[in-house]
Amino acid sequence: MTVNWKQWLGSLAVTAVVSSAVWAQESHVGNLIGHAAEGKKAYRRYCVGCHGSLGDGNGDNAPWIDPKPRDFVAATFKCRSTPTGTLPTDQDLFNAISRGFTNSNMPHWDSLPVQTRADLVAYIKTFSPRWQSEKPGEPIKIPAESAVTAQSIEHGHELFQKMECWKCHGQQGRGDGPSAPTLTDSKDQPIRPYDFADGRDDSRFKCGSSNEDLYRIFMTGLDGTPMPSFADVIQSNDAWDLVHYLRTLQVHRHSKENEVARGSGGKTVSAGKPSGGS
């Protein structure tokens, strides 16, 4: 048997170039430096079934998963600390891997060593050319939270109405607003608005569980979904008021916001009922 070993060497060279590109990709999470080559091994072990070997969200299990796995080639990420339309920071991706996504098949991977998670971030960034041509956005500044008062909750309710949040999330935050059935994501897949009313003490939002996370969500938006950024629409104090009101929609959750709302006679909560309703 004879072999064209020039072709073999050529293939090896191409492989080497691709490999070196992977090697060159790094992530920086705190003091950690993630390496794409190591991340590739972890990706093949943990992620490929859903996100696919090409990172396009078309893994073998993707057809049976709702919502669909993230498409890393498009490099559009919901959970960011950066303004809408920009790439997330490495820390954002690291946090998303660690935290997982509620109401999806993406579990929290915090049982993996932090180095492995940092390596995964580095490898995920190799799927899209955006990471070669763009830099991540600058993380938004989150001012100190304002005091929770009946007035702030009431003002948040007014903003909820004024900005028409209810159109998707519903007047009681059940995710059943009039626009809800029509919503689709950037891949034309049906998508459901977040159901605040179902929230318990252990509830989480798509991108975290704290008030700060909620503030960040509507100041950065959830890219790839109908949830826009309101950074150019409302001021930070207004945003905190909106946070306080949204917390009162989680009627089963023990929170300071609900205590204040109940202390004020439940006025703000009842105000959230559909207009014209009983």
Give the residues lining the site for other proteins (CB under 8 A).
1-6, 44-46, 48-50, 53, 60-61, 64-65, 100-115, 201-202, 204
The smaller minimum CB distance to other proteins, of residues 136 and 173, is found at: 173
Nearer to other proteins, 78 or 244 (CB): 78
Task: Choose between 41 and 273: whose C-beta lies nearer to other proteins.
Answer: 41
Minimum distance from residue 32 beta carbon to other proteins (Å): 8
Give yes or no for a contact between 218 and 230, defined as CB atoms under 8 angstroms apart. yes
Q: Are 34 and 118 in contact (CB under 8 A)?
A: yes
**Burial group, residue 2, by CB count within 10 angstroms (0-12, 13-18, 19+):** exposed
Least distance in angstroms from the C-beta of 64 to other proteins: 6
Is 121 within 8 Å of 97 (Cβ atoms)?
yes
Smallest gap from Cβ 112 to other proteins, in A, equals: 6
Burial class (CB in 10 A: 0-12, 13-18, 19+), 204: middle
Residue 104 beta carbon to other proteins: minimum distance, rounded to whole angstroms: 6
Residue closer to other proteins, measured from CB, 31 or 182:
31
Asked if 267 and 150 count as a contact pair (C-beta separation under 8 A), the reply is: yes
DSSP-assigned letter for residue 64? G
Closer CB to other proteins, residue 52 or residue 137? 52
Shortest distance in whole angstroms from residue 69 CB to other proteins: 9
